[in-house]
Each structure stands twice: as structure tokens, then as C-alpha cells.
Amino acid sequence: MFSLQHKKAVVTGAGSGIGQAIAVLFARQGAEVHIIELTEAAAASTLEYIHGIGAQAQVHAADVSSQHQVRQAFEAIGPHNILVNNAGIAHVGKADTTSEEDFDRVARVNVKGVYNCLHEGIPQMRRAGGGVVVNMASIATWVGLTDRFAYSMAKGAVMSMTLSVARDYIHENIRCNSISPARVHTPFVDGFIAKNYPGHEEEMFEKLSKSQPIGRMAKPEEVAALALYLCSDEASFITGCDYPIDGGFIKLNN
């Protein structure tokens, strides 16, 4: 079960964290993995890991917010069966404390970046005879998170795009779903805490961990396992759905 043999998978933002875990797991399951990262150096450790297990992978340097760069990457990749839109950035701020510059930056990466990959990836997927898209949304699409105005806006857009793609391409053998993680312990999270809560890193890590009723953050590998299922043939009857992986955050925090 869950074999990706003879499939070509594209994973954006796979240099670390969730994206890296997805790329590595997909490679383990037999996929030919193509990583889209801002630079080749950013994905070097992921590439080394995949090659170390005897699997195939290739890195394509591209800024997902640039349609021209994304187009070049997908032209080099060619027809593929799987697209995971994982690349994204975070931001802390309310509506009246979020600068126009920061709002535009989040929108460019988290919204336009997903659009660009769909715009360029779907025609190549069509050439392959169909496939599956998984977009990385967030629990921020389901609940109000404090000080996450721009980020919540962007992830809400990701979920909406997921529904539109699922509807528009259902008769072309293209499925589309999204995943909404709660907090996941990644190097990104550690850096985020260090930048925004200097001097209070341990306190904030503990607080953020315990905000999930299950009492901890998710592991990247747990999110990767869900992505594998949704991209496998075993999930061939699933499209237009969002899957929270949240340790009970949405339903049990009351």
C-alpha cells in the first residue's frame, strides 16, 4: 500500500521541515522527487538525504512568487503525477499592525506562489494523464488565531483554491486536497520563536506546544504520512477535502 513507484512528484519548499519530510518519504515510497526551492543550496541537505537512501531527486531553484521562474522549473520537470504546494512564510500581526509591505510579501509567497505552481503544474499534470495536488493550508483557515491576520488570510485563500481546483479538474482525473496542520516542530518554528520572542524561547515553545490539547506539537513526519496517503492511489476517491492534523486543536479547544 501507498506505493509511489513510477510516479513523479513535485514538492515546493522542501529544504527543511514539513517539505523535507514529505520529499524524503515520497522518495522512500518510490517516487522520482523534484524539489522547488529558492536556491539549490537551500535543498542540499534534503537532496543528500534522498540520495543516501538510494532514491532519485532533483532540485530546481525558483522563487515561487515569480511565475517566470516557476514556469522554467515546471518546463524542466515536465509531466508529473503529484504536486505538493508546501512553500510558505509566516507573519505575526493584527490588521492594524501589519504593514503593507509585509501583507504583500505574505500574499506573494503564500497565495500567488500556490497559484503560480497550479498555473504551471496543472498543464504538465494533464500531459501525464492526471494526478493529485496537495496544498498546505493551516488550522488558521478554521479558527481565529491571535496576531496572525495576514497568515490567516493567505491560508484561507489556499483552502479556497483547493476547492476550486478540485471542482474544475475533477473530470480530467486531477484530484486536489489540502492539509491543515496545527503547530509542527520544525527548524522554521524554532527560528520563528527566536525572532519574535527573544529571551522567552523556552517559555513560548512550551506555551505553543500545550496549545494543542494532545500536549505537543506535531512531527513533520506525521504530516508527511498524511500527504503520502492523499497522494497515493489508495485515496483515489478523495478530492475537495481539507484534513486538519491538529492534536485536537480545532474541536477540543473550548
* Residues written for the chain: 254
pLDDT at 254: 61
Hey, what's the torsion of the CAs at 99, 39, 137, 173, to 10 degrees?
A: 140
d(CA 194, CA 202): 9
List where CATH 3.40.50.720 sits in the chain. Answer: 8-181+220-242
Pairing label, strands 82-85, 57-61: unpaired
Q: What is the mean pLDDT of each run of 10 residues along the chain (254 residues)?
A: 97 97 98 98 97 96 98 98 96 96 98 98 98 98 94 98 98 98 91 88 92 95 98 98 96 82
CB-CB contact of 163 with 136 (8 Å): no
What is the arrangement of strands in the sheet containing 131-136, beginning at the earlier edge strand?
57-61, 32-37, 8-12, 82-85, 131-136, 174-181, 242-245
Instruction: Based on the residue annotation, tell me whether 151 is a catalytic residue of this protein.
Output: yes
pLDDT at 192: 80
How would DSSP label each residue in 69-110?
Answer: HHHHHHHHH-S-SEEEE-------B-TTTS-HHHHHHHIIII
d(CA 51, CA 210): 36
Q: Which residue has the cell 532540485?
A: 59
Hey, what's the torsion of the CAs at 162, 226, 114, 186, to 10 degrees?
A: 140
Domain 8-181+220-242 superfamily per CATH: NAD(P)-binding Rossmann-like Domain (3.40.50.720)
Residues 6+ apart with CB under 8 A from 238: 175, 177, 230
- Name the phi and psi angles at 58, rounded to 5: -145, 145
Pairing label, strands 8-12, 242-245: unpaired
d(CA 193, CA 9): 31
pLDDT at 180: 98
Catalytic pick from 115, 151, 169, 197?
151
CB-CB contact of 248 with 214 (8 Å): yes
